[in-house]
Chains A and B, each alone.
Chain A
């Protein structure tokens, strides 16, 4: 699990470090820099995989910008020569300094320095002077292969950190893809970045139910969030539930509407409420053994009723804290209700407000649930959702 992330000179982030937990929620005004934080980890991920170019960034869900946008260029500051990223786990740290090209040729970014330290030992160190050759190639990715192949040099902490970072991606589901009527341009397992192959992911998870009690219970938990259906499954034979005019994927999710008569109560993902699809999407990502060990979901709360997102947040907290195999999640949200579902007394669940200061620099502040805040929230009737709207937590626009 990443325990510390540092970012310098990337977009609106001049110099920030923060200490994530297992499940991390970022709240902030539109334009405060939440997505930039997620994208910073995305660039770091690409660097740890050996190359930072448009293709590797897109694969991780990072928005492609004009070259001049990546590097911070605040009015009061001299534009820094490099962009810096660092991620740490308890025993390992990986840092990289990059320079993106100024033209729009789509060329790979240049590595200026790169360092991997594990258990106090320097595994890899590359300084700007050494970077003139192969400067578009990251060495950590090669080092990882070397570490895996050379069993005598099996530095598992170093390999683990690189594994965590390399597979990171930012998911941003959208309804047409979740319904299966638009292709996912960023396919991945278990689900694509915009929600493709959801039905396949559900099939894969359902095949694990008999072997994994946690997943079995989780599937039961999901039904507590959906009040209009009493079951769901998947089918490869969608003729009876899907109009012939609608595009379809090989497998389709099928829901049973409990209010309708038998033979009229089967509906497909295309016809179902979009809320349930977003819930299943989260479920697939959080529970699937094929998910990245660390990933982000931008706007987790879209299309969800406030009460539903509150309960989904509760459920996610339960899954993240009870499942020993939980991945690390970063997500952004705008719906205040999400805060009231978070079990912030558990240090693994961390809430961060993201704001821009008077010079426009993005700042990340952890909101710690103190005893006094708990009293305010639970005994005096001022829940976090209300405090957020009131501005007390930060993370609101000055409008």
Chain B
């Protein structure tokens, strides 16, 4: 049996690929089973993402759905079997309004919640509290919940891993750079993670998969450049340590 059973709540498929690559580094001496809880794919598929949808709005709806189940997330009978539940949200969501995701009656009007950057951590702390509000939780740390809030988006980690050592300019305040997706979209076609077709961005799953091992091998370097990566790393390490100290 795997050492860890991990549920991931992510904005989209490519985010899950990156997080899995990161976990392959942090939990390299362990085995784990990872199950994508959100986005939920519909089985009678019409190409959509289940009842909750994808993106940050999907994560909001997933959280509210968990609350609707009538149990605190920590006591939810079908979720408490997970050793870790990772909730991912890109920090740029802090700039959004609920209406942007077609959420007309939010639990609390706590978006936007962006703070000046640097430091990125002020905004990510605000955003964590927003997620706790979605889950009807008040405090800071709730095992097995682990927040993963890359700033401004998870593609910053890709940019560091793939280009940081040859293009140091991209490293400057990278966690406050709102233009990372465009940066990746402007790369030559053969190495492009994101395609920009008439202003519509498309993340290329194939490319994310191909480079997943790069993320794993360069995770220490990513952590040096991105404090949010370090934060995520430390939280997983703490849970890992707690599990094996307790058992």
Question: Distance (Å) between the CB of B11 and the closest chain A CB?
Answer: 14
Which residues from chain A contact B5 at a C-beta distance below 8 Å?
Answer: 394
Asked if B23 and A391 make an inter-chain contact with CB atoms under 8 angstroms apart, the answer reads no
Which residues from chain A contact B40 at a C-beta distance below 8 Å?
Answer: 389-391
What CA separation (Å) do A358 and B37 show in the bound complex? 16
Interface flag for A237 (CB, 8 Å):
no
Please pick, from B33, B41, B69, the residue contacting A357 in the complex, using a CB distance under 8 A: B33
Please pick, from B23, B43, B69, the residue contacting A358 in the complex, using a CB distance under 8 A: B23
Asked if B31 and A357 make an inter-chain contact with CB atoms under 8 angstroms apart, the answer reads yes
Which residues from chain A contact B78 at a C-beta distance below 8 Å?
Answer: 373, 376, 382, 387, 390, 392-393
Please pick, from B2, B23, B34, B69, the residue contacting A398 in the complex, using a CB distance under 8 A: B34
What CA separation (Å) do A370 and B77 show in the bound complex? 8
> With A336-B43, A398-B35 in contact, do A357 and B2 touch (Cβ < 8 Å)?
yes
Interface flag for B104 (CB, 8 Å):
no
Among A345-393, those with CB < 8 Å from B are 355-359, 361, 363, 365, 370, 372-373, 375-376, 380, 382, 387, 389-393
Please pick, from A358, A370, A380, A390, the residue contacting B31 in the complex, using a CB distance under 8 A: A358
> With A389-B50, A398-B16 in contact, do A376 and B77 touch (Cβ < 8 Å)?
yes
Asked if B1 and A363 make an inter-chain contact with CB atoms under 8 angstroms apart, the answer reads yes
Least CB separation from B80: chain A residue: A372
What CA separation (Å) do A180 and B83 show in the bound complex? 51
Which residues from chain B contact A382 at a C-beta distance below 8 Å?
Answer: 69, 78
What CA separation (Å) do A357 and B83 show in the bound complex? 14
B7, B35, B36, B37: which has the most chain A beta carbons within 10 Å?
A: B35
Binary flags per residue of A123-144, CB closer than 8 Å to B gives 1, else 0: 0000000000000000000000
Among B1-49, those with CB < 8 Å from A are 1-2, 5, 7, 13, 16, 20, 23-24, 27, 31-38, 40-43
Which residues from chain B contact A356 at a C-beta distance below 8 Å?
Answer: 33
Question: Distance (Å) between the CB of B58 and the closest chain A CB?
Answer: 13
What CA separation (Å) do A356 and B32 show in the bound complex? 9
Please pick, from B36, B37, B77, the residue contacting A372 in the complex, using a CB distance under 8 A: B77
Which residues from chain B contact A357 at a C-beta distance below 8 Å?
Answer: 2, 31-33
Asked if A359 and B31 make an inter-chain contact with CB atoms under 8 angstroms apart, the answer reads yes
Interface residues on chain B, size class: 20 to 34
> With A365-B1, A380-B70, A398-B16 in contact, do A390 and B32 touch (Cβ < 8 Å)?
no
Question: Distance (Å) between the CB of A392 and the closest chain B CB?
Answer: 4
Among B88-102, those with CB < 8 Å from A are none
What CA separation (Å) do A391 and B86 show in the bound complex? 14
> With A373-B78, A389-B43 in contact, do A358 and B33 touch (Cβ < 8 Å)?
yes
Interface flag for A66 (CB, 8 Å):
no
Question: Distance (Å) between the CB of A372 and the closest chain B CB?
Answer: 3
Asked if A376 and B71 make an inter-chain contact with CB atoms under 8 angstroms apart, the answer reads yes
Interface flag for A315 (CB, 8 Å):
no
Interface flag for A399 (CB, 8 Å):
yes
Interface flag for A308 (CB, 8 Å):
no
Which residues from chain B contact A370 at a C-beta distance below 8 Å?
Answer: 77
Interface flag for B79 (CB, 8 Å):
yes
What CA separation (Å) do A397 and B39 show in the bound complex? 12
What CA separation (Å) do A382 and B75 show in the bound complex? 15
Which residues from chain A contact B1 at a C-beta distance below 8 Å?
Answer: 363, 365
Interface flag for A396 (CB, 8 Å):
yes
What CA separation (Å) do A391 and B78 show in the bound complex? 9
Please pick, from A363, A372, A376, the residue contacting B33 in the complex, using a CB distance under 8 A: A363
Asked if B50 and A398 make an inter-chain contact with CB atoms under 8 angstroms apart, the answer reads no
Asked if B77 and A396 make an inter-chain contact with CB atoms under 8 angstroms apart, the answer reads no
> With A358-B24, A363-B1, A382-B69 in contact, do A392 and B37 touch (Cβ < 8 Å)?
yes
Which residues from chain B contact A399 at a C-beta distance below 8 Å?
Answer: 13, 36, 41
Binary flags per residue of A323-362, CB closer than 8 Å to B gives 1, else 0: 0000000000000100000000000000000011111010
What CA separation (Å) do A296 and B79 show in the bound complex? 30
Question: Distance (Å) between the CB of B40 and the closest chain A CB?
Answer: 6
Among B169-186, those with CB < 8 Å from A are none
Binary flags per residue of A15-49, CB closer than 8 Å to B gives 1, else 0: 00000000000000000000000000000000000
Which residues from chain A contact B77 at a C-beta distance below 8 Å?
Answer: 370, 372-373, 375-376
What CA separation (Å) do A375 and B75 show in the bound complex? 13
What CA separation (Å) do A365 and B33 show in the bound complex? 11
Please pick, from A376, A394, A397, the residue contacting B69 in the complex, using a CB distance under 8 A: A376
> With A373-B77, A389-B40 in contact, do A358 and B35 touch (Cβ < 8 Å)?
no
What CA separation (Å) do A380 and B16 show in the bound complex? 30
Question: Distance (Å) between the CB of A363 and the closest chain B CB?
Answer: 6
What CA separation (Å) do A355 and B1 show in the bound complex? 10
Which residues from chain B contact A375 at a C-beta distance below 8 Å?
Answer: 77
> With A373-B78, A393-B78, A398-B16 in contact, do A358 and B41 touch (Cβ < 8 Å)?
no
What CA separation (Å) do A126 and B5 show in the bound complex? 39
What CA separation (Å) do A276 and B79 show in the bound complex? 37
Which residues from chain B contact A389 at a C-beta distance below 8 Å?
Answer: 40, 42-43, 50
Which residues from chain B contact A361 at a C-beta distance below 8 Å?
Answer: 2, 31
A376, A389, A398: which has the most chain B beta carbons within 10 Å?
A: A398
Question: Distance (Å) between the CB of A219 and the closest chain B CB?
Answer: 33
Question: Distance (Å) between the CB of B68 and the closest chain A CB?
Answer: 9
New contact pairs (18) apart from A372-B77, A391-B36, CB-CB < 8 Å? A336-B43, A355-B35, A357-B2, A357-B31, A357-B33, A358-B33, A363-B33, A376-B70, A380-B70, A382-B78, A387-B78, A389-B43, A391-B37, A391-B40, A394-B33, A396-B36, A398-B34, A398-B36
The 3 closest A-B pairs by CB, nearest first: A372-B77, A392-B78, A398-B36
Name 5 A/B residue pairs within 8 A (Cβ), A-sorted: A363-B33, A373-B78, A376-B77, A396-B35, A399-B13
